[in-house]
Structure 1
Amino acid sequence: MHTQMSPFEALQAAVHATGGQSALARVCGRSQPAVWKWVQSAQRLPAEHVLTVEAATGIPRHLLRPDIYPADLGPSPAWKGVDQGTQRVSFNQNSALQERAA
């Protein structure tokens, strides 16, 4: 399904998947006008938002920014997790530090 998508089409799909430009802006911690500018000027998603958008939408990073994440590297760990039905685990740094001190 995702194999022939350009980076711009992937950005448009991310806007649609999140529910609109305002929703994608919230996901990225940006304003809606910033997302509007990305879409209207046919820009690529800024690199600092690729992993967040991938996690929120399931659109693979290599489609959002193939210049940074080539497809030949294979699917991202998050994408593999979706296919395998695994759950994400949060890491509490304080607990890990306390365990090391003991």
Structure 2
Amino acid sequence: MLDIVKRAAEKAGGITKLASEIGVKHPSLHSWKQIPANRVRDIERVTGIPDYELRPDLFRPPVGASAPEVTA
């Protein structure tokens, strides 16, 4: 599972809760190679993790914010 998905699950109260909140089945979260673009806003809403941390390849941090460290 992706580290960012693990982090999001922790913030949401668990993997099952995160999946339920964003409308997917929890096994789906384990298979993601990256967070699908159409799920970023939902995860951001549920966890408070900003879009640029969830998908740094698609979103940029606001001016003055530091970019997240990208890990494989």
- Normalized against structure 2, the TM-score is what? 0.74
Tell me the distance in 2 between the aligned counterparts of 1:21 and 1:60: 18
Q: State the secondary structure of the residue aligned to 1:71.
A: coil
Given candidates 13, 16, 20, the residue that maps to 2:14 is 20
Equivalence for 1:55: 45
Listed one character per residue, the Cα deviations across residues 38-74 of structure 1 (whole Å, up to 9, x for unaligned) are 2xxxx21111110111111110100000111112567
Q: Which has the larger radius of gyration?
A: 1
Tell me the distance in 1 between the aligned counterparts of 2:5 and 2:31: 12
Letter aligned with residue 71 of structure 1? P
Letter aligned with residue 36 of structure 1? H
- Are 1:10 and 2:4 counterparts? yes
Which structure shows the bigger proportion of residues in helix conformation? 1
**What's the RMSD between the two structures over aligned residues?**
1.9
1:10 is displaced (CA, Å) by 2.5
Identity %: 33
Native 8 Å contact 1:22 1:32 kept in 2: yes
Structure 2: any 5+ residue segments left out of the alignment?
66-72
Q: How many residues align?
A: 64
Structure 1 runs (4+) greater than 6 angstroms displaced = none
Q: Would the alpha carbon gap of residues 34 and 73 (structure 1) be closer, same or farther in structure 2, given more than 3 Å must change?
A: farther
Letter aligned with residue 12 of structure 2? T
Tell me the distance in 2 between the aligned counterparts of 1:26 and 1:45: 16
